[in-house]
Amino acid sequence: MPNSVKWLGHAACQITSATGKVILIDPWITGNPGCAIKKQDVKRADLILVTHDHSDHVGTDIPDLVRSTGAMVLTHPELAAVLVQSGVSPDNIINGIGMNIGGQVEWAGIKVTMTQAFHSSSIGDAVGYIIILEDGKTVYHAGDTGIFSGMELLGSIYSIDVALIPIGSVFVMDPLQAAYSLTLLKPGIAVPIHYKTFPILVQDAGDFIRLAREKAPDTRVEAINPGEEIFI
């Protein structure tokens, strides 16, 4: 089996590695009007990454998901402490404390680097993640962010196979910034996320697809629907 990258809806994504390990990112499932699954549908999770504490990212399901799957949680120490208060066992926080921007943590053959993101949050910083799977395939989840010049560094340091890119505007990059970010990140494939969940957000990927084709013709855009996946 190849690795799969599935968009669950909004910023929630699921990576299943070729060996079957399941990584959930920002699993806002219950209450997410754009989510393709229910909490009970999650049969396996090995690693849960959280980008920041806004309710449409951290959600309310993480303590239950950790209990039902035994997944390990990775985020920064400030949000990790809040998750422990909300019922996640400290034994399920990687390193017992989490990590911070620039560092890399390896868990069961999956390497995760926390990256900066430019966005507000109540606790700690908003972040993104570079996830390197066992076979070296690399996925970037940008979290919630505006465009930033450091994306060019990320694109130089890492060979990004798939970039999960917020395009919804208002709270994150708009389609123009999102398309331009691809010229910095240079991913093989870009999957637009964080749009159409709410009426206030951009409602379709059309502008992003058009602008990405113009600005970053070397990147293939895969505008999949919630519940759909691509294979790498």
Residues forming the site for Zn ion (CB under 5 A)? 54, 144
CB of 126 to Zn ion, least distance (A): 6
CB of 88 to Zn ion, least distance (A): 20
CB of 144 to Zn ion, least distance (A): 4
As beta bridge partners, residue 54 has none
Greatest extent of the chain over all pairs of C-alpha atoms, in Å: 48
Contacts with 85 (C-beta within 8 Å, 6 or more apart), sequence order = none
Cβ nearer to Zn ion, comparing 123 with 189: 123
CB of 26 to Zn ion, least distance (A): 9
Cβ nearer to Zn ion, comparing 69 with 145: 145
Cβ nearer to Zn ion, comparing 48 with 132: 48
Cβ nearer to Zn ion, comparing 104 with 122: 122
List C-alpha distances in Å: 110 to 16, 157, 158. 11, 17, 15
Length of the chain: 232
Q: Closest residue to Zn ion, Cβ-based? A: 54
Q: Which residue has the tokens 């980008």?
A: 51
Pairing of strands 4-9, 229-231: antiparallel
CB of 140 to Zn ion, least distance (A): 17
Give the span between the Cα atoms of 200 and 169, in whole angstroms: 9
Give the span between the Cα atoms of 225 and 204, in whole angstroms: 10
